[in-house]
Amino acid sequence: MPSYQRRGARVVKLAGFISRNGTKTSFFGFMIFARQAALLILGLSFVIVPATAWAAQAKTAPTSAPAYKGAVIMDAATGKILFEDHRGDPSPPASMTKLMTFLVLHDKLQSGSLTLQTPVKVEAADSKIGGTQVWLKENEVFPVEELLYAMMIQSANDAAYALARTAAGSTAAFVELMNVKAKEIGMTRTTFRTPHGLPPSNRRVSEGDLTTPNDFALLCRELLLKTDVLTYSAVKTRNFGADVRDEPVVMNNHNHLLGKIAGVDGLKTGFTNGAGFCLSATAERNGKRIIVVVMGSPDRKLRDIKVAEFIERGFAALPANAAPFAQSGSSPVTRASAPEISPVVPAPITPAEAEPTIKFKIPTTKK
């Protein structure tokens, strides 16, 4: 077989393999060798690449969602902050907005422009609000007091809307009063746009009600000091419209800590997709009272558990000689006897870096 020299190496035509030492190797033998080498390399890649990919995935795997976006614990007597975590971060309050609606209505009651017996005639707009409601019907008439219970127990959006319209002439005028009141009590990072907390139709968070845990703790303290909000927020179950309708609405409080955690008697829950699960809670023990606000929790049960933990932590953080809580003003509402709260043995408080364990059963009813 003819051959020729090139740069000192013998080159064999297609029947052979080029070898620098001049050794002729079968072309087909080389192909077998090459194939085996390729399979070996490919096999190694299946061992190495998945392990590398797994390690990368382990690093980038998302952690569990945080329990809330912001939280604060406050001593109701002094206003001192006992714990805070992102307490100044703005977020929608959802139905907790109705706490400011209650405060403005309280001012109207105190001024005499409204009474608890003032009749409220339902208009078409009141009956079309949507969300949680007591299903008001046009031309129905209810006293202010009945609608207050509906707003605070059932979290009825239609009741809040009807009360706001009646109290100020229009809901827009009422919302202005809400924002004036917010500035008056130091809620510097709060803007209200509704009396009920529902999101705008475009669902843009920036165009709805916005506040912070710290601002809402201030609001709760104002309510506890100067109003009888607990007359309403401590009620677990009540019928609505018993004197007007053939079949009244059975209202169940959305605050599932009532009767489960010692001393809890308020205040208000809230939920929308944009806000997450929110709760402004308060509890009194041995004359001392604390306020807990949690906003933006991804789950209702998780929210309730965190608030229960914070209540225990809050009381544990109060000094033994902490000032007792006392209201600072009179209210036009005569406080009814608060329902009895089943005593719950407080769980021990562990160091700050650990999670306290609160043992109680959370109902499965969704907010």
Q: What is the pLDDT of residues 324-354, one digit of tens each?
A: 999 986 566 543 333 333 333 333 333 333 3
| pLDDT score at 330 | 59
Q: How many domains does the chain contain in total?
A: 2
Does 143 score more than 60 pLDDT? yes
Same domain, yes or no, for 147 and 279? yes
In a domain, 65, yes or no: no
In a domain, 51, yes or no: no
Q: What is the 3-state secondary structure (H, E, C) of the chain?
A: CCCEEECCEEECCCCEECECCCCCEEHHHHHHHHHHHHHHHHHHHHHHHHHHHHHHHHHHCCCCCCCCCEEEEEECCCCCEEEEECCCCCECCHHHHHHHHHHHHHHHHHHCCCCCCCEEECCCCHHHCCCCCCCCCCCCEEEHHHHHHHHHHHCCHHHHHHHHHHHHCCHHHHHHHHHHHHHHCCCCCCECCCCCCCCCCCCCHHHCCEECHHHHHHHHHHHHHHCCCHHHHCCCEEEECCCCCCCCEEEECCCCCCCCCCCEEEEEEEEECCCEEEEEEEEEECCEEEEEEEEEECCHHHHHHHHHHHHHHHHHHCCCCCCCCCCCCCCCCCCCCCCCCCCCCCCCCCCCCCCCCCCCCCCCCCC
| pLDDT score at 331 | 61
CATH of the domain at 174: 3.40.710.10
| pLDDT score at 65 | 79
- CB-based contacts of 38: which residues, under 8 Å, 6+ apart? none
Same domain, yes or no, for 243 and 295? yes
- pLDDT, average across residues 57-67: 55
What is the CA 141 to chain-centroid distance, rounded? Answer: 34
Final residue in a domain of this structure, among 279, 299, 317: 317
Same domain, yes or no, for 27 and 80? no
Same domain, yes or no, for 125 and 175? yes
Same domain, yes or no, for 116 and 160? yes
Q: Are 281 and 262 in contact (CB under 8 A)?
A: no
From CA 134, how far away is CA 324, in angstroms rounded?
A: 38
Question: Which residue range(s) make up the domain with 114?
Answer: 71-317
Does 160 score more than 50 pLDDT? yes
Same domain, yes or no, for 30 and 176? no
Q: What is the pLDDT of residues 182-235, one digit of tens each?
A: 999 999 999 999 999 999 999 899 999 999 999 999 999 999 999 999 999 999
| pLDDT score at 74 | 98
In a domain, 59, yes or no: no
From CA 108, how far away is CA 88, in angstroms rounded?
A: 30
Tell me how long the chain is. 367
In a domain, 86, yes or no: yes
In a domain, 44, yes or no: no
Q: Are 155 and 254 in contact (CB under 8 A)?
A: yes
In a domain, 64, yes or no: no
Of 77, 86, 67, nearest to 315 by C-alpha is 77
| pLDDT score at 306 | 97
| pLDDT score at 35 | 53
Does 20 score more than 70 pLDDT? no
Same domain, yes or no, for 174 and 292? yes
Does 155 score more than 80 pLDDT? yes
- pLDDT, average across residues 129-140: 96
Give the tokens for residue 108: 């109207």
In a domain, 19, yes or no: yes
| pLDDT score at 349 | 34
Same domain, yes or no, for 125 and 187? yes
- pLDDT, average across residues 261-288: 97
- pLDDT, average across residues 119-138: 96
In this prediction, residue 243 has a pLDDT band, given cuts at 50, 70 and 90, of confident
| pLDDT score at 367 | 44
| Mean per-residue pLDDT over the chain, rounded | 81
- pLDDT, average across residues 167-184: 98
Taking the CB of residue 125, how many other CB atoms lie within 10 A of it?
13
Predicted TM-score (pTM) of this structure: 0.75
Same domain, yes or no, for 233 and 180? yes
In a domain, 55, yes or no: no
CA 60-66-71 angle, 5° bins: 150
Query: Would you give the end-to-end CA distance of the chain in angstroms?
Result: 91
| pLDDT score at 67 | 94
In this prediction, residue 47 has a pLDDT band, given cuts at 50, 70 and 90, of very low
One-letter amino acid identity for 14?
A: L
Same domain, yes or no, for 28 and 164? no
Same domain, yes or no, for 179 and 280? yes
Same domain, yes or no, for 173 and 297? yes
From CA 171, how far away is CA 138, in angstroms rounded?
A: 17
Low-confidence winner among 62-66, 156-160, 161-165, 310-314 (lowest mean pLDDT): 62-66
From CA 75, how far away is CA 196, in angstroms rounded?
A: 27
In this prediction, residue 2 has a pLDDT band, given cuts at 50, 70 and 90, of very low
| pLDDT score at 50 | 34
- CB-based contacts of 69: which residues, under 8 Å, 6+ apart? 86, 89, 91, 276, 295, 296, 297
